[in-house]
Structure 1
Amino acid sequence: MSSAGLPPSFQLLIPAVPVVVTGARQAVILTPDGELETLPLPEAARRLRGERPMVCHLPNVAARLKVPPFMAYDVLELFAFVRPARFCLPTVGGLAAACGLDAPVSPEDCAQTLVQVVRRLLHELPQEARWSQAKGRGVAWAMTRGGWPWGPSVLAAWGEQGEMPHSHRVLSGMRVWEHLPEFSEHAPESPPGTAPVDPAEARTRLGQLLGTAAEDRPQQADFASACSAAFAPRHVEGEPHVVLAEAGTGVGKTLGYIAPASVWAEKNEGAVWISTYTRNLQRQLDAELSRLHPDPVEKARKVVVRKGRENYLCLLNLEESINRLSHTPALAIPLGLMARWALATRDGDMVGGDFPGWLSDLVGRGPTIGLTDRRGECVFAACPHYTRCFIERSVRKARRARIVVANHALVMLVLAHGGTVGGGEEGPQIATRYVFDEGHHLFDAADSAFSAHLTGQEAAELRRWLLGSEETGRSRARGLKRRAEEVLADNVDALDALDAALAAARCLPGPGWLNRLTEGAPNGPTERFLLLARQQVYARSKDAGTPYSLETETAHPVPGLLETAAELEHAFDGLLAPVRELIRVIGKVLDDAAGETDGPTRLRLDSLSRSLDRRAVQPLLAWRSMLEALQQETPEQYVDWFAVDRIEGRDIDTGMHRHWIDPTKPLAGVMADSTHGVVVASATLRDGTGDPETDWKAAEGRTGAAHLPVPALRAAMASPFDYPAQTKVLVVTDVRKDDLDQVAAAYRELFLAAGGGGLGLFTAISRLRAVRDRIAAPLEDRGIPLYAQHVDGMDSATLVDIFRADHDGCLLGTDAMRDGVDVPGHSLRLLVFDRVPWPRPDILHRARREAFNGRAYDDMLTRLRLKQAFGRLVRRAGDHGVFVMLDPMMPTRLHGAFPPGVAVQRVGLATAVAEVRSFLGDYVRGSGVG
């Protein structure tokens, strides 16, 4: 790269170390002298012992070499420093694309490309804006002091030489929060109007969004018209207008509901909340809304992506972590990368925003994702960073926005808690109009939102929230005393109640509770109860040695459990009383001193009161009810059970669980209370029994519409795709699903026949890993890279991004990944299921099966899963794909999962391979890939 325009002080310092690129069988090593060597992985691991090589994504490289992570020059870390908050796939090809370099075509090219990427990135540093360089130098010095391998190269590029600056200058460079803009307050928004949206208005707006050059999609216009009914004025309190709208893939439902939603928001000067289940759809929505507001400034004002507090960087957490660097200098590496990102990020969103998901894999979750407010410890207006807070900025923007893009979990919290979440200081955010996209997930989202768990982790988390960290030096958690006493310091009654609550909180599990349970030495009533619950689980398990989680019914408790439950119930009463008294006193303070207390203090007091109710009172009441049921009987609307949660055979939690048998009942309740109009949209709302009324009733049952006082409007628009011509469905009849050698051979031959572009879905992680180990090398030998969830050391979203960009790659994942994969085009042309994805026959499912029509309930869930998976294959008009089921026991009654006209062929493996090769051959060749 040319050095023109670079300052005289610039020095290009590329580390003289080996460059390593790993495959499934071999590793390529580029020596500092420029020689290329190809070695088997075990030999490469031995050669690299004691070296600090240059790599791309160290955790993945170490996993392939089958060695623990080691010190290395990870080029992704350099990219994250030089280009913070900018997208890059965590592969050599991804780095090359991001840097404008030619894509490498071989492992040898990859090794040489890494060096070119480093050269390009280092050349960019002195071309940064001066203010960015000034702040970056301090960060780089801090990271260098912490042992960052790239530090000398970065500092040389900026012309920094000589002795390390004084530690004060180094740490001041890390204090990036001082350079973030402050938000400003605005007058409260007026209530929105109630003007309806005429179907013709929705169609007109849709035409404006699409533009004059768009293809004619009558189904999309009909969809927009149908959705407009949800934006009519409500006639009776508690009776919202609900539209169940199924739109087949390709209809264009996103713009279809944005059209009437945006018209209503403009006419009534109010907000419409659009809720999704997956991060991918949130990103897609954000992009589509640029059609509505092409001007980025206007869009930033009128469209907000809103998430819970646990998704955003907490600046106070960042500051407290940086202040401890003198004791843990190595943390300067991840914290320096976080500091660079904090100055560049659009909105501070670390989960699905512009934070690179792969960075936590590289430098650890604690100093990255762990800096979010996952434990509800925010001190709100007492925080020195309050006016610069990413979360508070997002909250305030959402109050004034016209379209708020959120997720199901947050929306249910907002509805259930009267429009206040995160403690309440955010103020009411209740809207009257909602769109639930990916509406087929509402049942699962409600199941999570309205369940209760009296487990070690949950109870210990409540103790930690109340008492703060009890492990010196291991956590920065602030307890309730620190959050409360500053605003209640002069109130004796409040301080007495606070002290009593903190003393009573010691009935909850303390640090080390899991080890004490394992050793049979519980401390306190909660741990004694958990120990006996765990004993019951193990005593009644068919196979306690399984690596998977265990569970058992609560009936016929083991000796001593009822007495311990009664003791624990009494202990919870002892904690509830002072917490409620504290809430009462806070309310009295707010009332008595209404004219004297300043605004920030009132906000903090109100927030504290709401937090105490949501985080302490509500869980404790639910736990008391669960304990009472052990003495009596579980209410008919619930199902209770004991469980031991495990990961790969290691216990991680234990306790008692309670779920609604039908969680859409409480969901319908909060929707009736809070909303005026709701659109529930999905490509897979209805079942596929063949009977229209039965299929619609399934949609109403899974979304809560069946429990609302007024029937929902039903609307269904068929996909414009020619599925019989564009897809095939094959059921392989001669592969034994219990023989993993046969299953692996089937995957290998099918992926080879498709030339890549295959997604393999598994019902168990162990089966996925076994198949991956058997087929990775032979696929790589044919030029088909294989990526695998739970193997490659990357999060699922990153793996999908890599798979999407690699036309010839294949990806293995669990069945749960079927909804997180949105891969239009040739990158996904084959989908293979290892077994029929029947529901897991656990205690909760058994109760629901009995309540929801027995075997028909199993069939409905399975058809919907297959329907969702099949929908991944064809995402746009030119796509083609083959769906293969390796389970010969797939019954014909599940065939309704597939579109009308698509024949399900039952064939042997050899025929299936030939069909895949024949059907996809012309498609792949015509695409120019493969």
Structure 2
Amino acid sequence: MMTDPQIVLPPVPVLIVGWRGAMALDPDGECRALSAADAARLARCDQPIVCHGPAVAARLRIERFECHDLLELFAFVRPARFCLPTPRGLAEAVGLPPPRDAADEAETLRRAAWRLLETLAEAAARARPRPLGEVRGLAWMMARGGWGWGRAVLAALGGENEGGRGAAAARVWERLPEWSDGPAEPPATSLPVSPAEARARLAKMLGPDAEQRPAQADYASAVSQAFLPREAPGEPHLVLAEAGTGTGKTLGYIAPASLWAEKNGAPVWISTHTRNLQRQLDAELDRLFPDPAEKARKVVIRKGRENYLCLLNYEEAARQDHRRAPVPVGLVARWIGATRDGDMVGGDFPGWLADLLGRSATLGLTDRRGECVFSACFHFRKCFIERAIRRARRAEIVVANHALVMIQAALGGLDDASLPTRLVFDEGHHLFDVADSAFSAHLSGQEGAEMRRWLLGPEGDSGRSRARGLRRRAEELIGASEEAAAALETALEAARALPGPGWIARLGLDEPQGPAETFLALVRRQVLARAAGADSPYSLECAVAPPAEGLGAAAAGLAAALERLEKPLKDLSRALDDLLDDEAAELDSATRGRIEAIVRGISHRALLPLGVWRDMLAEIGTPNAPPDAKGPGGAEGPAENAAPPAPAEPPRMFDWLALDRLDGRETDVGLHRHWIDPAVPFARAVMAPAHGVVITSATLRDGSGQPEADWHAAELRTGGIHLPAPPLRAAVASPFDYPAQTRVLIVTDVRKDAMDQVAAAYRELFLAAAGGALGLFTAISRLREVHRRIAAPLEDAGLPLLAQHVDGMDPATLVEIFRAEEHSCLLGTDALRDGVDVPGRALRLIVFDRVPWPRPDLLHRARRDRFGGRFYDDRITRLRLKQAFGRLVRRAGDHGVFVLLDPMMPSRLFGAFPPGVVPRRLGLAEAVRETAAALDT
């Protein structure tokens, strides 16, 4: 029944929580201060209005509680829109003045709720006489399921007594437009881009009134060499280009890249490491394509399939959960109807929404299980992923990420077996680590259990799982093929050799079942027997050789079991391929698509890892004795006139055993294999097939003081050394006056192992800077200890403290809050070391708890032995310091102080800092005074 829209707030208090205390605003308007205990009691009993419930629970140190989270209301009213998940952020998003104190924050939340409900009421009034049917239906479904905001939203929409159309409103997939396919794109031409053309395109993008940056034009000119025609297969034009912060390298490489794409009718792929740079690139491309419609045609953001919403997953969740968990279903439905491209990770899906609703109900709806049936899916013509893939084929600029480019190249193609011929890798200093992950292999309990689940589907499941086993995907396609049916049954039976449900608990009890669990149990036993600190809460590892008693035999038994699984899967794949040939005249397009999807899945998800796992297992127990050192007759030394033995080929791979723990709880165990030099497969699989490649960063080179050695190190870490032709080297210095704009201080009188002293140093330095401070840590435990000690005193001083691994928010959201609130402070680990781009006074102090030496694990030791011993350690550490220091000055007017709380900082690492910036060693008290003076606080 339709009624007039009304604004009715829930009759509950508003709760604001700090680290020291809390503030409550009662429904009658009374504001009162609360102790932490009283605030926790109110939270548990009164379902208060809050902003980001998980963060409030973390501050109160209680479990999550029922509440009226204002962010949920914001996500319903303004889907696919971002706001900072703070009272100040909500105020800005809805057009209210920023709050001044805790009492004002409470009033701001109440006024923001009123403003959002007004927005719904106004929309409902404008929509009459046609009511907002889908919106009202979703609100009714969510209200019926207990959503705290449900009655208020329905009242604002004028439909509190809405009928039962909620489930129908959740069928948002029915209202999405379909994409249309077109003819295949013709092959690209190979017209070059000259340095003069690159400079001209750059000048056009900047406009006539732009500040002149000769270094930026020089950079664009150098990068253009990657867009020359290739002269021989396997010999791309590689440009290694280091561009100091402030050079404007983004537009510098966009200029020749966009011109080449325009001239040759093919896309250039620009790959980044961080989502932040992907967003920055998207914004910069507005200069080239100011018309949004044109930009939508020519620029595409591409990520891996696991980043995009899967409509089939959502449909199954909506059908199963619209009664059991209607709030996530409804809020995701609202987002689907408004999203730009379906990207849930770093796109227009607010990161804090996953914090509120849970990852399984949000990010769990992406294609993470590799079960896509492609063109056989009912939603194929509306699929966000397929839409992005097709748009990318016709785009001029595709903004991707390193992991996607590497993994897809390793599998033989970017979703459709086509590889871009021109690649630009920004944030190129990450390539070594990303390649290390992309080209590694792991025979672990989790990996084996995931393969078993992919093959068999959920076992002993309550029926709510959306996983689909191979039988469900393939059985009806096999038809009358006895060969395929037999192969499927044999494969599914053989898959039971993999770790089954409950495997981790059985290993803990030493009661393994089957060959995989037997092998893993012996791996676990060897690690616990040989690794130092077995009783610690941290992950453990040990070498494979010499294998403990029984491990070699267990490895052989598992290898045989994997071969028994591999053979019928190959037979099934071959039989399905035969169906495509034998029944070509009868098969409809959807059926062909499903068969092709299953064959592709068997290859990528099963056969590829099974082959690698068997190779890994074959190495266990293989004798590694050195060549016989005795001559004939047992005499020492080589036989007379005997040819000297050929030097042994250094190993390419390194294997080890590991037991993974999280907060003391065992999570995985297995055998791991990594390339000692992952730049080798990166060069072969990604760069060699291309025609031109740019690898660029502000931190490509080491700062050892030896220019040629530094360039050689850059070529080694990026894979340039493994290509036939040497790369073109280019370096453009930063325009910033670092000696005048920055200070580097090394504190000599704080014991880095005394957490009271470390925390006091952070507190006093943050206070001296009056906020705008980023604290970096080499261990999560140290971060938490410091946070526990300094959160309250900083809050008393009016400096909000944010912390990764503490606040219950994803890192990207924390950075957004830190960027927006000039006097806030942020604590983080490696993920924030070079993933933060905060220009201006919002970041004016960086404090590092100690020298960020590489973690001395077994893999690092193997690489250290290969790449130069101590010099390899120094190189990695200098690059980490260089990347962290680079966060400090992002534009010409910035000033900052970089502090290292480690008296053992060696002077040989000073090359991490720009020329002219000389680190000073001093005591904490002097460092505090120096920080305050340098930042004029």
Q: How high is the TM-score relative to the length of structure 2? A: 0.95
Q: How does 1:726-805 map to 2 (within 5 A)?
A: 726-805=741-820
Q: How does 1:16-31 map to 2 (within 5 A)?
A: 16-31=11-26
How far is 1:721 from its partner?
0.4
**Letter paired with 2:759:** A
Q: How does 1:124-139 map to 2 (within 5 A)?
A: 124-128=119-123, 130=127, 133-139=132-138
Hey, what does 2:257 align to over in structure 1? 261
Q: How does 1:49-88 map to 2 (within 5 A)?
A: 49-88=44-83
Match of 2:188 among 187, 192, 198: 192
Distance 1:437 1:762 in 2: 25
CA contact (8 A) 2:804 2:828 kept: yes
Hey, what does 2:298 align to over in structure 1? 302
Distance 1:783 1:895 in 2: 35
Structure 2 runs not aligned, ≥5 long: 625-649
Q: Is 1:165 the counterpart of 2:160 in the alignment?
A: no
CA contact (8 A) 1:275 1:405 kept: yes
Distance 1:233 1:525 in 2: 53
Hey, what does 2:628 align to over in structure 1? none
Q: Is 1:274 the counterpart of 2:270 in the alignment?
A: yes
Q: Relative to structure 1, is the Cα distance of residues 872 and 633 closer, same or farther in structure 2, using a 3 angstrom cutoff?
A: farther
Match of 1:354 among 341, 344, 348: 348
* Residues 829-872 of structure 1: CA deviation (Å, up to 9, x unaligned): 00000000000000000000000000000000000000000000
How far is 1:360 from its partner?
0.9
Partner of 1:290, secondary structure, is: coil
Partner of 1:304, secondary structure, is: strand
Partner of 2:730, secondary structure, is: strand
Match of 1:830 among 838, 845, 855: 845
Q: Is 1:288 the counterpart of 2:291 in the alignment?
A: no
Distance 1:178 1:607 in 2: 24
Distance 2:510 2:318 in 1: 39
CA contact (8 A) 1:463 1:505 kept: yes
How far is 1:420 from its partner?
4.0
Distance 1:419 1:509 in 2: 31
Distance 1:30 1:436 in 2: 51
Hey, what does 1:143 align to over in structure 2? 142
Match of 2:857 among 830, 842, 864: 842
Distance 1:598 1:64 in 2: 58
Hey, what does 1:221 align to over in structure 2? 217
Hey, what does 2:482 align to over in structure 1? 492
CA contact (8 A) 1:126 1:133 kept: no
Q: How does 1:677-692 map to 2 (within 5 A)?
A: 677-692=692-707
CA contact (8 A) 2:43 2:65 kept: no
How far is 1:8 from its partner?
7.0
Distance 1:14 1:672 in 2: 59
Match of 1:903 among 913, 918, 922: 918
**Letter paired with 1:224:** A
Hey, what does 2:429 align to over in structure 1? 440
Hey, what does 2:439 align to over in structure 1? 450
Q: Relative to structure 1, is the Cα distance of residues 324 and 159 closer, same or farther in structure 2, using a 3 angstrom cutoff?
A: same
Distance 2:606 2:830 in 1: 35
Partner of 1:50, secondary structure, is: helix
Hey, what does 1:577 align to over in structure 2? 567
**Letter paired with 1:19:** V
CA contact (8 A) 1:815 1:837 kept: no
How far is 1:595 from its partner?
5.2
Partner of 1:434, secondary structure, is: strand
CA contact (8 A) 2:6 2:121 kept: no
How far is 1:488 from its partner?
2.7
Partner of 2:871, secondary structure, is: helix
* Residues 636-682 of structure 1: CA deviation (Å, up to 9, x unaligned): 11111111111111111111100000000011111354201000010
Q: Is 1:854 the counterpart of 2:869 in the alignment?
A: yes
Q: Relative to structure 1, is the Cα distance of residues 188 and 833 closer, same or farther in structure 2, using a 3 angstrom cutoff?
A: same
* Residues 203-235 of structure 1: CA deviation (Å, up to 9, x unaligned): 010011111111011111011011110011100
**Letter paired with 1:665:** V
How far is 1:475 from its partner?
1.3
**Letter paired with 1:146:** G
How far is 1:588 from its partner?
2.7
Q: How does 1:426-437 map to 2 (within 5 A)?
A: 427-437=416-426
**Letter paired with 1:316:** L
Hey, what does 1:424 align to over in structure 2? none
How far is 1:268 from its partner?
0.2
Hey, what does 2:555 align to over in structure 1? 565
How far is 1:591 from its partner?
3.5
CA contact (8 A) 2:780 2:829 kept: yes
Q: Is 1:378 the counterpart of 2:372 in the alignment?
A: yes
**Letter paired with 1:86:** R
Structure 1 runs not aligned, ≥5 long: 1-6, 422-426, 925-930
How far is 1:184 from its partner?
0.6
Distance 1:486 1:219 in 2: 63
CA contact (8 A) 1:147 1:330 kept: no
Distance 1:759 1:833 in 2: 9
Distance 2:844 2:232 in 1: 49
Q: How does 1:683-702 map to 2 (within 5 A)?
A: 683-702=698-717
Distance 1:238 1:87 in 2: 44
How far is 1:428 from its partner?
2.7
Partner of 2:111, secondary structure, is: helix
Hey, what does 2:654 align to over in structure 1? 639
Partner of 1:548, secondary structure, is: coil
Match of 1:482 among 459, 472, 486: 472
Q: How high is the TM-score relative to the length of structure 1? A: 0.96
Hey, what does 1:609 align to over in structure 2? 599
* Residues 366-411 of structure 1: CA deviation (Å, up to 9, x unaligned): 1100000101011112211111111111111111111111100110
Q: Relative to structure 1, is the Cα distance of residues 772 and 672 closer, same or farther in structure 2, using a 3 angstrom cutoff?
A: closer
Partner of 1:212, secondary structure, is: coil
Distance 1:132 1:558 in 2: 72
Q: Relative to structure 1, is the Cα distance of residues 132 and 734 closer, same or farther in structure 2, using a 3 angstrom cutoff?
A: farther
Q: Is 1:236 the counterpart of 2:232 in the alignment?
A: yes
After superposition, the CA RMSD in angstroms is 1.4
Partner of 2:846, secondary structure, is: strand
Distance 1:484 1:429 in 2: 27
Distance 1:657 1:836 in 2: 28
Distance 1:263 1:863 in 2: 36
* Residues 115-137 of structure 1: CA deviation (Å, up to 9, x unaligned): 00000000111333748921111
Hey, what does 2:171 align to over in structure 1? 175
* Residues 410-466 of structure 1: CA deviation (Å, up to 9, x unaligned): 101222222144xxxxx2331100000000000011000100000011111111111
Hey, what does 2:645 align to over in structure 1? none
Partner of 2:842, secondary structure, is: coil
How far is 1:44 from its partner?
2.2
Hey, what does 1:3 align to over in structure 2? none
Q: Is 1:413 the counterpart of 2:407 in the alignment?
A: yes
Distance 2:198 2:674 in 1: 40
CA contact (8 A) 1:787 1:809 kept: yes
**Letter paired with 1:536:** Q
* Residues 283-336 of structure 1: CA deviation (Å, up to 9, x unaligned): 00111111111111111111100111100111111111111136xx34111111
CA contact (8 A) 1:122 1:154 kept: yes
Q: Is 1:111 the counterpart of 2:106 in the alignment?
A: yes
Distance 1:310 1:606 in 2: 20
Distance 1:622 1:312 in 2: 29
CA contact (8 A) 2:405 2:414 kept: no
Distance 1:325 1:913 in 2: 55
CA contact (8 A) 2:539 2:662 kept: yes
**Letter paired with 2:607:** V
Partner of 2:286, secondary structure, is: helix
